[in-house]
Structure 1
Amino acid sequence: GFPYDTRIEDCFTGIKSVSGRVTEYICCNRMEASVVVALEDYVHIFKKVTCTYLQVTEDGQVDTDTWVTEDVYSPHSAQSNSEESEERFSPEEVEVPFISCQLSDREVTDIGLKLPALRQAFATILSSDHNQNFLFLNGKKIVMRLAAANNQDTVRVQLAYEALIWFLRTSSNQESIAAELSGANLHFNFLDVFYELLVFGYFCNGLAPETFEGGFLQRLMALISMWDLDVWEPAAGLYFKVLIDQLTELVVVLFSQPLELYDDPEALATVVMGLLKQHVQLMMDTLEKL
């Protein structure tokens, strides 16, 4: 078939001033280009995202960086049935179809073998209050930054976030949360809840889970629903897109370690925690400059 392409460009520019004098200049540009080629049985989508930021400080120092992600998607044609699509995945991969599709499209292999090991690694990591605090506090900073960029009531957002985390960390709620997630075909694990349900399921594919009053998922979606994902302030929209790109890069890295590492639970947990710290710091540094 004949190829066609689409391009989406977002640009955000900001200045910092003191007493009317410009002390810092920041510019971030995100370009997303997609080329679609329709063949007889398949549609091939080639996607490239390029992000560049530039920072100039008062003393003339220049800080700039660029990162690029490239993906190739080959979804089945409309004539293909769901059984044929599911044959691509192992039983473990079918448990997290959105994660599996994202990783398969990036040519990550042995997903089904790595998934249980990574679930165990996150369970080990989050058994520590210190590690929980690290993730929840940095998550709070990101959420508050996004709310401020979107001109929202930051106090209301902060209270909702803290209430959700308190509910999640309360020991008497653990059994009911696990049962609720099991009913939604999800494991009570960071990978399943954050990546499968939230990042790839809801944010990337618009699939909201069923909820019931007072449950964990109802509280989670109440927090998320404070944002209209179709209506963003320009700065917040760019902030969100860059965040999703970097979170996607993190999960690809988590599933791309040497295969033998996934057979060593203790070593894997150590590596995963190191990668989390590294990528969270990268996210914070990048987002601070937007």
Structure 2
Amino acid sequence: MTINCKGNLIDLNIPKVMGILNITPDSFFDGGKYRDDKVILEKTGHMLQDGATFIDVGAYSSRPGASHVSEEEELKRIVPIIELLLKEFPQILLSVDTFRAKVAHNCLDRGAAMINDISAGKMDADMLTQVANHQVPYIMMHMKGTPQTMQQETSYDDLMKDILFYFSERVAAAKTLKINDIIIDPGFGFSKTVEQNYEVLQKMDLFQLLELPILAGLSRKSMIYKVLGTNAKGALNGTTALNMVALNRGANILRVHDVKEALECINLGQAFL
């Protein structure tokens, strides 16, 4: 199972780590930390040194209740950072966390390697076309509603069946446009209660029916710290525990704030094979 990133064939049969670089002022864990060029470069360098294959850059916080950000503001935040990172790390594989086609186009034009879309193309009708035009890998996530409304969108007839149907429809739309490299993200924390998140994790191996790589984004989320009675800062150990569960259920990419610990999970998991 491979994806093509800027001419590099990435083998996902051995799981990979995607490091999170939030350049928003209001992300749930590290909001506001990475707004200075020097700090951004240091953080990115550390994640690459710790073993991240991809760096996921986001300029629009999708945490529950986050403020809406205009397209112009998102572009203003993210484009200079894409340029900065590619200048400092020419070989870096940058994933752009956006649901907007114009943002995707501008970042891909400047050398980003893939798009990570929380809406699977449902919040911008031009997104799939842009991804197809650039022929880059596309991460599509499951979510109902928008980041502003998703916490009220937790009603399902059959949770896993509904999510699988959602992906089958979105994958078909992407493949119609000849998007070749598709990765699915179950969307932990998006339009799901704590209990529903754990049901998805428990049954995550069902997504292998789609025969596509699976990304698990569990890092420091409320489904962890609410159960543990802590907060995002205190959720690293819980994240590590659930990352191992996700790997055992077929995850090919771990999207995390803490790269070193995630790579240790992968290396220990590989020792069992």
Common fold, TM-score beyond 0.5? Answer: no
- Specify the TM-score bucket, using the shorter chain as the normaliser: under 0.3
**Highest RCO, 1 vs 2 (Cα 8 Å, sep ≥ 6):** 2
> What is the TM-score of this pair, normalised by structure 1?
0.24
After TM superposition, the score normalised by the length of structure 2 is 0.25
Task: Name the structure with the higher strand share.
Answer: 1
